[in-house]
Copies of this chain bind each other. A is one copy, B any other.
Amino acid sequence: MESVSKNKIKEIRSLQQKKFRDELGLFVIEGVKMVEEVIQHVPHLIDCCIYTSDYQLNNSNLSFPHFQVDAKTLGQCSSLKTPNKVLIVLKTLKNTHKEVPFTLAIDGVQDPGNMGTILRLADWFGVEQIVCSSNTVDCYNPKVVQASMGAILRIPVIYCDLSNYLASTTQPVYGALLEGKNVYKEKLNFEGILLMGNEGKGISEDLLPFITHPITIPQFGQAESLNVSVATGILLSEFRR
C-alpha cells in the first residue's frame, strides 16, 4: 500500500481556502454516503481518496490513488469538527451557462449553509443550472458542499457577470422582491430565470432593470423577511406546482 506524502496532506488541507481550490482545480467531499456516490457515478473526477481503517474501501480495480491513514492524518485533511472516516479530492468543473428551460440565478448569497441548502432544493425541484454573480459564495466551499447533500455533483453551477448574462437572455426574468406581485396570483410554468438576492441587501440595484416579473411571497405575520434559502424553496415550489 502506497502511503500519502506530507505535501499531499498539506495540499488537501489548503483546499479549505478558495484561493487554493481555484489554483489547483480541486475540492473535497467528506462522508461515506457522498464518497460512495462519487465512486459510483463520477470516478473519472477523483484526484484521490483518503480513508481510515474504519472504512471498507472496495479497492479492486480502482482507477484513482487511495491512501489508508490514521485518524489524526484524516483530521488534518478534514474541515469538519468531527471528521468522518473517508474523504475524496475531486476535480472542480468549469461549467458554462446554457439556454435551458429553467435557470436559478443567485446574486451575492454569502452564507455557505444557505448556498448548500439552495443547491439541495434546486436538485429536488429539478433545476437545470444555477448561474451566480461572482461575489456569491464559492460552491466548492466545504460547508456548501456538505449542506448540498450531493447536489453539487448533479447541478452545474456557473459564476459570471450576472448583468451580462441577464442582458443576453430573451427568457422571462422573475425577481424575488419585497415589493413584487403576489406570487400566488401569478400563472407560472417551469420556464425562465428566477433571480434571488443577497441575505441582507437583496438583489443588486444594477440587476433590477432586467427583471421582467417582480414577485413576492405574501407576508401574514410580523417577520420582516424570510431566509433566502426558504424563500427560494417556496418560489421553486410555486413554479413546479
| A224-B151 Cα distance, complex, nearest whole Å | 10
What are 22 A-B contacts with C-beta separation under 8 Å?
Answer: A117-B227, A117-B230, A120-B223, A120-B226, A121-B230, A122-B221, A124-B220, A124-B223, A126-B222, A149-B223, A149-B225, A154-B222, A184-B241, A220-B240, A227-B229, A229-B229, A230-B230, A231-B233, A233-B233, A234-B234, A234-B237, A237-B238
Select the residue from A120, A151, A241 with max chain B CB neighbours within 10 A: A241
A226, B113: Cα distance in complex, Å: 14
Query: Would you give the shortest CB distance from A111 to chain B, in whole angstroms?
Result: 10
A227-B120, A227-B229, A229-B227 given as contacts; is B222 within 8 A of A237 (CB)?
no
Query: Is A25 part of the binding interface, using a Cβ–Cβ cutoff of 8 Å?
Result: no
**Residue count of chain A within 8 Å CB distance of chain B:** 35
* A220 proximity list for chain B (CB < 8 A): 124-126, 240
Residue of B nearest to A124 (CB): B223
Nearest CB in chain B: distance from A55 CB, A: 20
Copy total for this chain: 2
B233–A124 CB distance below 8 A: no
Docked CA distance A184–B190 (Å): 15
B230 touches A217 (CB 8 A): no
Is A30 part of the contact surface with B, judged by Cβ < 8 Å?
A: no
* Cα–Cα distance between A231 and B234 once the two chains are bound (Å): 9
Chain B residues near A149 (CB-CB < 8 A): 223-225
Q: Assess whether A127 is interfacial by the CB under 8 Å rule.
A: yes
Choose one: B113, B224, B237; the contact of A113 (CB below 8 Å).
B113
Structural contact, B223 and A123, CB atoms closer than 8 A: yes
Q: Cβ of B240 and Cβ of A125 under 8 Å apart? A: no
In the complex, which residue of chain B has the Cβ closest to the Cβ of A117?
Answer: B227
In angstroms, how far is the closest chain B Cβ from the Cβ of A217? Answer: 7
Across-interface contacts of A154 in B (CB, < 8 A): 221-222
Interface check A65, CB cutoff 8 A = no
